[in-house]
Structure 1
Amino acid sequence: MLTIRSLVDVGSLGLRVLVPGGPAALDEPLRWLHTTELLDPSTYLRDRELVLTNGLWHDGANAAEFVANVARARGAGIVFGLRRVTPETPPDLVAACGRAGLPLVELAITVPFTELTRRAATELAGERQRALVDTVRRGNDLAAAISRGAGATGVLKVLRRDHHLPLAVIDRMGRVLAADGVEPGAETARRVAEGLKRHPPPLRLELGDGQGEAVLFLVNTLAGADAALVCLAPLDSLGDAEREALTQAAHYLSLEVARTELMRAIESRFAHELLEMILSGSRAQGEVAARLESFGVRPDGPLAVLAVAARGEVPADAALAERVGEFFPAEGTPAVVIGGSQDVVAIFPWAEDADALPALADRLLTAVGRAGSAGATVAGLGGIAEGSRGLRLPLRYARDACQVLRRGAGRRIAHFTDLGSHRLLLGAQDDETRRRFADSVLGPLRAHDAERGSCLEATVRAFLANDGRWAETAARLFVHVNTLRNRLAKVAELTGHDVTTTEGRVDLFLAVEADALGRH
């Protein structure tokens, strides 16, 4: 690296340090050398350039003014070249540099500035050659790591070989794809994910809670900034070589992240097709077995089905499917995990008794919660199928049970048969039948609400949720009881189902439940 010290150490140049300047000033990297005889060279001087002068400006001028001008332009220091008429460095220049903390070096009369410049050019050329060689070597190593399938972890190992920095690769979903030299927590991953969703994403990111600053080197794919190479160190602490290496690695990570996302997309498509095959019935049973085998799940043994979702109206996201997918390998169990808009379904071999399934579901929900699930999660159990041909009913039971659990505030895990006789009746019907029934009963109310701006469907739901108690329902809706009676009379007129009769109330209740089960 070209520094004042590296030039002084070349004995043939005859340089002598008169003022060392501030701490480590002699070891700061130099941009170049600038020869000038102007009293104020600041207009032409770039930062970290070393000023070479014979002091022609010194006749009748103040040395302090010259030093101040060099310091203002952030010059790296001054080399004063001795001449026959000035056989020693002016004392006022030495004093001014001392006060300003600016390095001052004396050049012997016998050595021209061109010799100093030639030496600097040689050093800089060597630096650039070494940097180019390092870049090529690192590029080869990064390409080799990715081609061997080492992935993001292999890329970080290449970086850490030369630069001992705390590094992680985190994507837009807050998933830590790799880490080396640091173990980023869930909060750090969340903040990085939020940063990546900004337009444009920040280069510097405050982590909060006294954790300091992280630097994001964006990993861009066709979809934009899908991930970041995160250096958990302040940007100002990174040298030029480190920034160049991190930027280069981020480009290579783009290939790896794009490949990973493509594989996830292919797996997700195959998994969703498997779900459709199972629900379609016996017509696709041969394909179901083959598809299960492609996921590493034996189709001819006992298979368990469960569905997981966040409680309430929170939609299932890719992060929930990811956490469920991570759980089964940790359990040593192959599984097909299928993420949908409302729930995440898992199909996996199960050699134990069905009574042991709730314990596994409990461990799963605990693991998902530790991984940072947004809100409580629930799990619906579908039971055990004897091979791939029996998966259709357990799959429907698991998803229906999950939908019932997510709307309540009680238990977190249940089999569909534990949730009431009316749900068993609805569960025995296919999705299309349930939808047609719900639409036939609730459709007239929705049409009336859309046309008149009324809220008849919401009134029915509130009345049923309050177990048919008139006063409580009216209070919940902030209306008079007579208004409630008028609304429900209109419901009876439109649908033919009167809530004051057992038959009418049951039909409306079943329609509401069928509508809820049909949303997954």
Structure 2
Amino acid sequence: MGAYDWTNWSVAGMGCGVPVTVRWLLRHTDLNLTQAADTGDPAREIDFVVTTELSDPTPWLSGGELVLTTGIGLLGRTGVIVDRAGCEAYVRRLVDKGISALGFGVGLTVDDVPADLATAAAAAGLPLLLVPRPTPFVAIARAVADRSAELQYRSQELAARAQPRMTRAAVSGGAVALLRELSAACDGAAILLDEDGRVTQSAPASVSPAIMRAVGEQVRGHPTASSVAIEHDTVIVSQPIRVAGRTHGHLAVAAAHDMKPTDHVLIGHANSLLALDFEKPHRLDAVESRVNVAVFALLLGDEPDGSQVQQLAAEAADGHGRVRVLVVRGLGARAEDAAEALTARLVARRRPAFVSVRDGGEVAVLLRGNDDDAVITDLMAALPRAARRRSRAGVGGPVPVTAVRDGHRDAVTIAAAAERGGAVADRRAVAGMSLVASPSGRASLADLSRLLIDPLVEYDAAHGSALVPSLRAYLENHGQWETAASDLGVHRHTLRARIAKVEDRLGLDLDSARVRAELLLALLVKD
């Protein structure tokens, strides 16, 4: 890409962002256009193509056009081309309107470009193109339109490529690296100023003092709004860097060419990146202040303000202010190492790390309320393999930040029911297992199991029978003889006989729903 010499104000080139020019049109071999000698700079830019045979088309022109004519508008009353004065007046009207070039179609009204017209164009510095008769004017208009669309697409493509480069530069190199990328993308000088309009950084580093002054004056004149100005043939675009009513400074780009829409998009993107960078210390200061308040309250022996503590944890919540608690139990001496591994994984995923080592070798982790199984599986993969094999893990459902204690209790209960070394369990795993998972419930059921199940276990051991598995199959199949017998691989009459033996040994009636429920729980605690 070309560059502008921002030290001495001289144009050194414009690179691949050049619009459609007279030179490009002359190089379009299918059109077979030629330029009359000494008739203006072929670097002129063409915005649009207009065909007209009016002697004065300027009321319908806006500047920047390539005007195409066959010379009918130059014919006098006698039907011949006007004299030199008439040609000069025609050219002067077009030049004063700011057209880019004049195309003259030969072989129709006249066989060649009138000499007086060529002389007038050369004197005015207006490029004069000779259009041969086989070349239709519409082909020229289509070529310019297609080229303009191609350049516009290319400009948008370059902008799309520039945005991720700017983002990477901002992350890895800060404001200076971002300004360099913006300067290259916009083909101009990128300048960062403080709140008072003083230049703090620029790319390139050596920007003309005159530009610095012009940019500073523009920023001070528009401290809270974006602005565009032209100073010394230089276009200056400035924007305040503002977040939540705070102005962190100003971003400006100065270029020797009109800013394209994509340039404005890139400037806005750079502004957003700078705003994020400037806001980071404010966010950290706010968090640190809340932490300090909570710590000081603890040092004074006070209970910390619950609302402040909840604000600290709010960063871990989802968009609805909900969190989930993950509990990993049975880690023993490996709890500290496990907590470090989980913290490192959260940080690597750019997540706030709320990880706590609890009594009894337990680790608790605060997750977002909308974190799904994939997120939790990825987090658990960070645990050392040995720790994972020995542990049980459970995760509670989404709760408000104000109900983290309840979420933790739920996760502890679920983890107790989880399979050791297995997948992380959720509330679905507790269904039918909550009494077994709870320490107090398990203790009560263990007493029940000794009373009701141990006698059957002893009988099976002494007689080689299968009363315990038969009872389990019967209960888990809700007393359905056919299904339970099929699970066991025996005839239903065999199963009936075994269940009758169970009732006889225990002195119980299995027709009672309460008896069946207690027997099933007593069996489950044996697992």
TM-score range (shorter-chain normalised) is 0.3 to 0.5
Indicate the structure (1 or 2) with the bigger Cα radius of gyration: 2
